[in-house]
Copies of this chain bind each other. A is one copy, B any other.
Amino acid sequence: MNVSFPSNRQELLDQQFQRLAKLVGRLENNAFWQPRLKSAEWTSDKILSTPPTAENLRALLDRLPIVRKAELVADQLQNPRYGTNLSFPLSDYARLHQTSGTTTGKPLRWLDTPESWAWIMSCWKQIYALMGLRATDRLIFPFSFGPFLGFWAGFEGAAQMGNLCLAAGGMSSEARLKLIDENQITILACTPTYALRLAEVARQQGIDLAKSSIRAILVAGEPGGNIPATRQLIETTWNARVFDHWGMTEVGPLAMETEHDPGSLSVLETECIVEILNPETHRAVAEGESGELVITNLGRVGSPLLRYATGDIVTPSWQSVEGDPPFVRLMGGIQGRTDDMWIIRGNNVFPSSLEEIIRSIPEVEEFQLRVHAHRQMQEVSIRIECRSGLSDAVCQNCAMRIRQQIKERHHFEATIELVEPGVLPRFEMKAKRIVTN
């Protein structure tokens, strides 16, 4: 893998100042950023003449307001169809992606120029280097390449590196398992949910995945990759290492679990500036405190984002791991999203913390969370589907254990409903396990 990383944080800072100055210089015609840059008094010259220290970067960033997704959505509504965050004429853009729109309802459209797309490819090359991709690895991407960005870019990145890549859209899970075996695929790229769904289908077909050719599973799109119980269930079933990945359609692919550091995400600070801010005070959090991940990407020049509040809650560490670049590490990956948080009987609860409990019971095949208001209070009920072939007593016992653990950790009583095998929906991309009514 021909990728070299900076060896210390000062080298990173030097690069970030240089790249930021260069980016700002190219936003002359970007109507979204121009007024913001002006009021922050950001110019290329000014950034370049600032000594590259962490304090100066902090001061520089503090002058620019934070941007949230709602602002971008509103901008696209007011300035159809692609909003004003365009650095170049529309004819310069070659790719159109959009977000799945599950959280806010409204999908966000995102355009890339060939240069921006090449930047995304360069991010993926670094990501593959961090996970220790080998030249002999063969990758399968079992999903239907829609308008989302995620693994689409991962597919092209791996193909550009010369690894054998197989796109497996529009096929049944059975056919995909056959392709994995026939082509002795070593890396599976999918959502955590779909890794478990493939395992369910394999079990039904009498296939032992622990003996398959898959050595690693690259997951993204859901928090599951770093929910310990979900992660362990996938790793045990497949007898393969899980690698979690993080990116967003609007910021690009920017974080990866490294070969040497299971259970964390390293952010590609070669390609972005990271802030982790207390959601209320907007002050940077210290090592080990949790806060919201805020990203300034440095190479997606066609539609860049500066100080973009991702909504993702993370806990940083700047202590580096032997063999890895000096990037900030998000301990335990993405812990939840600010807009996902429920307040149940006075406790802050993320769906991911409930998933951690449910997935620790290996008899559970699928589940669904339902939040509903009852006498002005939020309540949670959970539908549980156990694996087929288990007795009623076993299933009742699973439900009881889940109820108990939620009570112990989160201090509320969840209603648990057991449903028959095959009743709950299955997913090939991001799961929709949360129902509100």
A93, B169: Cβ atoms under 8 Å?
no
Q: For residue A159, which residues in chain B have a CB less than 8 angstroms away from its CB?
A: 94-95, 114, 117
B165, A147: Cβ atoms under 8 Å?
no
Interface residues of A in 164-211 (CB under 8 A from B): 164-171, 179, 182-184
Q: For residue A135, which residues in chain B have a CB less than 8 angstroms away from its CB?
A: 91
Q: Does A74 contact B (CB under 8 A)?
A: no
Q: For residue A81, which residues in chain B have a CB less than 8 angstroms away from its CB?
A: 182-184
Q: Does A32 contact B (CB under 8 A)?
A: no
Interface residues of A in 58-112 (CB under 8 A from B): 81, 91-96, 109, 111
Interface-centre pick from A167, A171, A183, A428 (highest chain B CB count, 10 A):
A167
Q: For residue A117, which residues in chain B have a CB less than 8 angstroms away from its CB?
A: 159
Q: Does A6 contact B (CB under 8 A)?
A: no
- Chain A 143-176, CB-CB to B under 8 Å as 1, else 0, gives 1111100001000000111111111111100000
Q: Does A136 contact B (CB under 8 A)?
A: yes
Q: Does A133 contact B (CB under 8 A)?
A: no
Q: For residue A109, which residues in chain B have a CB less than 8 angstroms away from its CB?
A: 183
Q: What are 27 A-to-B residue pairs whose CB atoms are below 8 Å?
A: A81-B182, A81-B184, A91-B135, A91-B162, A94-B159, A94-B161, A94-B162, A94-B165, A95-B159, A96-B166, A96-B183, A109-B183, A111-B164, A114-B159, A114-B162, A143-B170, A144-B169, A144-B170, A145-B145, A145-B167, A145-B169, A146-B168, A147-B166, A147-B179, A169-B169, A169-B170, A170-B428
